[in-house]
Amino acid sequence: MFKIDWYKFILWNVPSFERLKTRMQWLQLMLSEVRKHWDSFVVYRSAKLYDVNHTGQVIYLEKALNDAFDNTLRRIYIDDGDFGDRVFVYDRTQPLMLYWRWKNYLDYSIGDKILDDDGVVYESLDNDNSFRKPSLNPAYWQPIGFYVYLKSRNQYITGTGFIVYVPITLDYDENRMKALINFRKVAGRPYQIQEV
């Protein structure tokens, strides 16, 4: 469908009584720019078909990396990484609890739960605890647990989703390899590049 014989294209679209040699050459000259753009479109299409067919699955990612950096020996491979310990922030079976930070001059009653500066959640044991800081007055405040803070992106990524193993003897551009991996991998999956 994308291979066009331009001479036949002109021949079939020109009536037979107007097929003079000079007119056919003139039409070929007129279509030369169209042919140039068509050829660049075909090259672009084949490159994009390669991108579409090579997804973030391990087998396709390995093939794309080996095609780009180690086409002859094909020594680049991918293995699962260390995912690290996962912390679940919120269990949907439990009720969601939000805590206010302790502030002076606020009226607290029995059973109020407050977050103090030390990251501990305290429950009020008495009325009128407005002047008693929870961490300094254990007789009036009972610690009931720690408040879980969400970590920043850099702190939360403790493990790696996968590891790309590259031979030490291979000469490659690391930024280009990272760009190729980032283009093809699933979003949010951390990775490492290790030389073996």
| β-pair type (120-124, 77-80) | unpaired
Q: 100-146 domain in CATH 2.10.10.20?
A: yes
Q: Kindly report the pTM of this predicted structure.
A: 0.53
Residue 97 CA to residue 106 CA, distance in Å, equals 20
Cα–Cα nearest to 80, from 6, 163, 150, 151:
163
Instruction: Give the three-state DSSP class for 193.
Output: strand
Q: Would you kindly state where each structural domain of the chain is located, as residue ranges?
A: 1-53, 54-85+154-195, 100-146
Task: List the chain pLDDT tens, one digit each, 196 residues.
Answer: 778 888 888 889 888 888 888 988 999 999 999 999 999 999 999 999 998 998 889 999 999 999 999 999 999 999 987 765 555 555 667 665 666 666 665 667 777 777 777 667 777 777 766 667 777 777 777 777 766 555 555 555 556 788 999 999 999 999 999 999 999 998 888 888 999 8
